[in-house]
């Protein structure tokens, strides 16, 4: 394997965070689980307004916005969207006004990510039952009529530009794995570019670890099965990079059995995962994504699908501010 960058300088990247994020062993947590060795990659420490996986995507997306001469940013998400909070922070840093289309109505208590969205200066538009950017075309028209040139960051930052952040992330990890052969990487998967970028990065770096995405969002209205979304995005990303690797549905590990009562609903499995990691390592997970993904990892260890001989990396993708919006939902103290 060559050590030369798999993403060349012709793909513009705007620095927004602090990389490499830490990689370390979870000795206490591994002991508590009593199975494989568990390691962690700390994208919760990426630095942009409490960090998270979206920093990596936004470095490429907002570089494109600047390159295209755009003068404002639009994106969308749920009321406690980490993606929207990170986009608002990145836009503030780049002195670009940020417009956020959020699902639901303005809640009585403004907390968690929503509090940060306001503090970061974004303009918020409440969208009722639509949390996936259905209202974006109308806002683009309005802002364009007013003489602006908006840049639309896609839902979750997931397109072939955003996915570059996670192609690059595996090369970053490569330098941290010198004496640690990892057999599995487990992470939360939702809009797809984290998973797609990791697939492309793994193929280009010729690695043999198994990528296990935990689907955290059971979207029954989706037009396309989520696994197909990931495959298509991985293929688009490879083409965008000018690489000829191709991906098929059966080469993708996406576990669908951990979506509980639906998107953002905190169940006992997530509560246990958050509590176990907090009490054994002093590391916080979030209620929507990483808590659910870690619940998946714990289940795979207990059912011995992750054998004791494995070296498992959990990719912490951030999201911690949402914890504060769920204070009254935790039942175990």
Ligand X SMILES: Cc1ncc(COP(=O)(O)O)c(C=O)c1O
Active site residues: 81
Question: Shortest Cβ distance from residue 145 to ligand X (Å)?
Answer: 31
Name which position in 102, 153, 188, 323 contacts ligand X (CB under 6 A): 188
CA dist., res. 299 & res. 225, Å (int): 24
Residue 123's contacts (CB-CB under 8 Å, 6 or more residues apart) are: 97, 98, 99, 100
- For 308, counting Cβ atoms within 10 Å of its Cβ (0-12 exposed, 13-18 middle, 19+ buried), the class is exposed
99 makes contact with ligand X (CB under 6 A): no
- Residue 35 or 315: the one with the smaller Cβ distance to ligand X is 315
* Candidate segments 24-32, 254-262, 297-305, 316-324, binder of ligand X by CB under 6 A: 316-324
Smallest distance, Å, CB 211 to ligand X?
Answer: 12
Find the binder of ligand X among 192, 201, 264, 287 (CB under 6 A): 192
Nearer to ligand X, 21 or 317 (CB): 317
From 32-40, 96-104, 186-194, 305-313, give the range in contact with ligand X by CB under 6 A: 186-194
What distance in Å separates the CA atoms of residue 263 and residue 53, rounded to the nearest whole number?
18
Distance in angstroms (rounded) separating the CA atoms of residues 104 and 88? 18
286 scored as a contact of ligand X (CB under 6 A): yes
- Binding of ligand X by 259 (CB under 6 A): no
42 pairs with which residues across the strands? 316
Q: Quick check: 190 binds ligand X (CB under 6 A)?
A: yes
For ligand X, the binding residues in 123-162 under the rule CB under 6 A are: 156, 158
Site size toward ligand X (CB under 6 A) is: 20
CA distance 10 to 199: 21
Which is nearest to 17 in space by CA: 168, 118, 159? 168
Report, in Å, the least distance between residue 57 CB and ligand X.
7
Is 289 a binding residue for ligand X by CB under 6 A? The answer is yes
State the SS3 of 53-105.
CHHHHHHHHHHHHHHCCCCEEEEEECCCCHHHHHHHHHHHHCCCCEEEEECEC
What's 232's DSSP letter? H
Binding mask 55-84 for ligand X (x = CB under 6 A): ---------------------------xx-
Which of 33, 318, 325, 326 contacts ligand X by CB under 6 A?
318
Instruction: Confirm or reject binding of residue 53 to ligand X (CB under 6 A).
Output: yes
Contacts (Cβ under 8 Å, ≥6 apart) of 6:
167, 168, 171, 201, 204, 205, 241
- Both tokens of 179, joined, read 């004496």
Report the Cα 35 to chain-centroid distance in Å: 26
Does position 291 interact with ligand X (CB under 6 A)? The reply is no
Which one of residues 319, 321, 323, 326 is an interface residue with ligand X (CB under 6 A)? 319
Chain residues binding ligand X by CB under 6 A are 52-53, 82-83, 156, 158, 188-195, 286, 289-290, 317-319
């Amino acid at each position: 394997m060559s050590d030369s960058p798999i993403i060349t300088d012709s793909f513009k990247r705007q620095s927004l965070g602090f990389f490499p994020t830490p990689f370390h062993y979870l000795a206490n947590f591994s002991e508590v689980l009593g199975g494989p060795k568990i390691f962690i990659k700390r994208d919760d420490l990426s630095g942009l307004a409490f960090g998270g996986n979206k920093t990596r995507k936004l470095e490429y997306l907002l570089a494109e916005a600047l390159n295209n001469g755009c003068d404002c940013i639009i994106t969308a998400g749920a009321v406690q969207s980490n993606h929207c909070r990170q986009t608002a922070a990145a836009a503030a840093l780049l002195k670009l006004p940020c417009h956020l289309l959020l699902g639901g109505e303005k809640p009585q208590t403004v907390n968690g990510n929503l509090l940060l969205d306001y503090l970061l200066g974004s303009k918020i538009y409440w969208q009722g039952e639509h949390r996936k950017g259905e209202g974006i075309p109308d806002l683009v028209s309005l802002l364009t009529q007013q003489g602006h040139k908006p840049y639309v960051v896609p839902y979750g930052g997931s397109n072939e530009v955003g996915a570059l952040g996670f192609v690059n992330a595996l090369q970053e990890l490569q330098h941290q794995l010198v004496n640690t052969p990892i057999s599995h990487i487990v992470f939360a998967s939702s809009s797809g570019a984290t998973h797609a970028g990791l697939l492309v990065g793994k193929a280009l770096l010729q690695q043999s670890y198994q990528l296990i995405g935990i689907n955290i969002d059971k979207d029954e209205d989706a037009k396309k099965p989520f696994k197909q979304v990931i495959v298509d995005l991985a293929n688009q990303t490879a083409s965008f990079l000018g690489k000829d690797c191709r991906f098929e549905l059966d080469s993708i590990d996406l576990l669908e059995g951990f979506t509980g009562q639906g998107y953002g609903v905190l169940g006992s499995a997530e509560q246990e995962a958050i509590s176990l990691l907090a009490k054994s390592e002093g590391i916080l997970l979030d209620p929507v994504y990483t808590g659910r993904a870690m619940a998946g990892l714990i289940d795979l260890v207990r059912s011995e699908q992750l054998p004791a001989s494995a070296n498992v990396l959990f990719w912490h993708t951030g999201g911690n501010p949402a914890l504060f919006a769920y204070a009254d939902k935790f039942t175990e103290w």
